[in-house]
Amino acid sequence: MLQEKAYREALEWIHGLGRYGMKPGLERVKSMLEKLGNPHQGIRFVHVAGTNGKGSTAAMLASILRSAGYSVGLFTSPYLLSFTNRMAVNNADINHAELIKLVEQIKPVVKQLQADPELGHPTEFEVVTVLAFIFFAASEVDLVVLEVGLGGRLDATNVVTPLLSVITNISLEHTDVLGNTIEEIAFEKAGIIKTEKPMITAAEDHRALSVFETRCAELNCPYYRVFPPLEAGGQPVDQRPVAVIKQITEDGQYFDYFGLKIEQHDLFITLRGQYQLLNAATAIAATELLTEEGFVVSREALLMGLAETTWPGRLELLQKEPLVIMDGAHNPAAMENLAEAIPRYFNYKRLILVIGMLADKDITAMLKYILPQSDLIVFTRPTLPRAADPHDIAASACENFNMQQEYYVLRDHREALKKALELAGTDDAILVTGSLYTVSDLRACYFSRKEEEQA
């Protein structure tokens, strides 16, 4: 009981830092790390940035390396189920006692920065990043797969010199911070590329690719591009690395990989969506490049690592009859991928959409892709101050798309899920999407309902 109280207090202290907002820049992180003995400098990293897919790619890469016998740290954001999901070693989240200890260790350092008029108070993400570095250093990991929080160049994670930089893809996002064009956003992401260190990207937009190629040339970095997946029977010629689809099943998808130097056939991932094959190819290509750094991965480790990768809230199937699917698509590019994937990977009579979004997102552009797929709609909101009012989302849908579908507006996400389940027949599908925060809330609500039903 005492430890749980201390854990709650530690979380309250961390989340209380949210009032300091977002402050792009590396000075505060560097200062905190220096005062703590620069724990990150003894760690080897793979740094992963991108608009979408970076979490899945990072998870697959970490799982492959772990299956190969290495001790691997994984840092991701935001968390879906518990704050401790953000930092893990060998698939085990940081435990409560460890987090409590780290918070007590960093508090005096935070106070020192707060008293410094030039630096000022660090943000929540900056402190969490430093906590993760201390945790990974104490765990003596062989390597950390480090996901960028936002952008890259000025992100708190960008104090490391990685063995390899990965940029999954580029589309318009956070334009108020990262810029209004693909080139500007690509420039920010390219900030993680380091001198003479390999860089690999799964981006497709030629404007972004041009930025990456230029930056790699400037820094004398080996540059590699992963190409979009090919349909079954496709034959890669000059476009490698690439995944070739073999078979899509209800439980996942089989594919072949044609890489920089290797070919691997009959690989399997449980993650759904064609974009996950692109992410898988990117992760495998990263392992090829890491071989040059001494990280050897056998076929058995590759097979196991891919097959064992889970990433909740990404085309996640929670039940059948009716299907309950949850996906954290939170920008137009992700919603376009989701809209394409749903009819391809699932069979259903009607699609019941449960959607909640954040107010700072391009709501109209996201609705454009998913509304035509939907037969019934329940507008709701996650329990977050930045959440968009569901009445505003419904109004946008009606005004911009002349929406004809039956719909409901329920601010309480628990009532939204209840309504969707009431409306659904056994051969229908319920899709929860719009934000990872929406998925997090409704996923917890779903499992709480299940526990009550079984009690």
- Are residues 378 and 449 part of one domain? yes
Contact 131, 155 (CB under 8 A): no
Tokens 């044609």 sit at which residue? 258
Please list, in sequence order, all residues whose beta carbon lies within 8 angstroms of the beta carbon of residue 276, skipping any fewer than 6 positions away.
53, 56, 253, 269, 314, 315
**Could you tell me the CA-to-CA distances from 90 to 55, 144, 166, 300, 386 in Å, in that order?**
16, 10, 21, 18, 33
Tell me what percent of the residues of the chain surpass a pLDDT of 90: 82
Task: Please indicate, yes or no, whether residues 407 and 274 belong to a single structural domain of this protein.
Answer: no
CATH number of domain containing 24? 3.40.1190.10
Q: Is the pLDDT of residue 176 over 70?
A: no
In this predicted model, what pLDDT tens digit does every residue of 35-92 receive, in sequence order? 999 999 999 999 999 988 999 999 999 999 999 999 999 999 888 888 999 999 999 9
- Higher-confidence position of 178 and 275: 275
Smallest Cα–Cα separation from 106: which of 81, 78, 147, 135?
Answer: 135
Which pLDDT score is estimated for 177? 64
CA distance 241 to 261: 9
User: Whole domain around residue 405: which residue ranges?
Assistant: 316-454
Tokens read off for 67:
């299956």
Q: What is the dihedral of CA 112, 118, 122, 125, to 10 degrees?
A: -140
The identity of residue 209, as a single letter, is L
Per the CB < 8 A criterion, the answer to whether 275 and 161 are in contact is no
pLDDT above 70 coverage of the chain, percent: 98
pLDDT score recorded for residue 1: 66
Is the pLDDT confidence value at 358 over 70?
yes
Are 101 and 90 a contacting pair, CB within 8 Å? no
**Tokens representing 355?**
């959607």
How many domains, in total, are found in the chain? 2
Express each pLDDT in 275-322 by its tens digit. 999 999 999 999 999 999 999 999 999 999 999 999 899 999 999 999
First-to-last alpha carbon distance for the chain, in angstroms, is: 24
Q: Is the model's pLDDT at 175 over the cut of 70?
A: no
**Partners of 45 in the β-ladder:** 144
For the chain, the average pLDDT equals: 93
Task: Quote the pLDDT of residue 37.
Answer: 96
Residues 86 and 122 reside in one and the same domain: yes
300, 327: one domain:
no
Based on the number of CB atoms within 10 Å of its own CB, is 21 exposed (0-12), middle (13-18) or buried (19 or more)? exposed
Given a contact cutoff of 8 angstroms between Cβ atoms, the answer to whether 280 and 60 are in contact is yes
User: Which of these three, 255, 284, 307, is where a domain ends?
Assistant: 307
| Same domain, yes or no: 270 and 391 | no
Total length of the chain: 455
Residue 127 CA: distances (Å) to CA of 49, 72, 220: 19, 21, 32
pLDDT of residue 3: 80
Q: Report the C-alpha gap between 50 and 167 in whole angstroms.
A: 5
Within this chain, do residues 266 and 396 fall inside the same structural domain, yes or no?
no
**pLDDT digits 0-9 by tens, 388-445:** 999 999 999 999 998 889 999 999 999 999 999 999 999 999 999 999 999 999 999 9
Question: pLDDT grade, residue 174 (50/70/90)?
Answer: low
Question: Looking at 276, 307, 338, which one is the last position of a domain?
Answer: 307
Whether residues 132 and 194 fall in one domain: yes
Q: Are residues 296 and 342 in the same domain?
A: no
- Indicate the residue among 285, 307, 329 that finishes a domain: 307
155/60 same-domain check: yes
Phi-psi region at 179: left, alpha or beta (left = phi > 0; alpha = psi -120 to 50): left
SS3 sequence of the chain: CHHHHHHHHHHHHHHHHHHHCCCCCCHHHHHHHHHCCCHHHHCCEEEEECCCCHHHHHHHHHHHHHHCCCCEEEECCCCCCCHHHHEEECCEECCHHHHHHHHHHHHHHHHHHHCCCCCCCCCHHHHHHHHHHHHHHHHCCCEEEEECCCCCCCCCCCCCCCCEEEECCCCCCCHHHHCCCHHHHHHHHHHHCCCCCCEEECCCCHHHHHHHHHHHHHHCCCEEECCCCECCCCCCCCCCCEEEEEEEECCEEEEEEECCCCEEEEEEECCCCHHHHHHHHHHHHHHHHHHHHCCCCCHHHHHHHHHCCCCCCCCEEEECCCEEEECCCCCHHHHHHHHHHHHHHCCCCCEEEEECCECCCCHHHHHHHHHHHCCEEEECCCCCCCECCHHHHHHHHHHHHCCCCEEEECCCHHHHHHHHHHHCCCCCEEEEECCHHHHHHHHHHHHHHHHHHHC
Residue-wise pLDDT for 109-143, tens only, equals 999 998 888 898 999 999 999 999 999 999 999 99
Q: Which conformational region is residue 53 in: left (phi greater than 0), alpha (psi within -120 to 50 degrees), or beta?
A: left
Distance, CA of 103 to chain centre: 25
Tell me: do 298 and 332 sit in the same domain. Answer: no
Give the pLDDT score at 213.
97
Say yes or no: 37 and 69 in one domain: yes
What pLDDT was estimated at residue 202?
97
Q: Do residues 122 and 26 both lie within one domain? A: yes
Q: Counting Cβ atoms within 10 Å, is residue 426 exposed (0-12), middle (13-18) or buried (19+)?
A: exposed
Region class of 315: left (phi > 0), else alpha (psi between -120 and 50), else beta: left
Q: What's 435's domain CATH number? A: 3.90.190.20
Structure tokens at 436: 């990872």
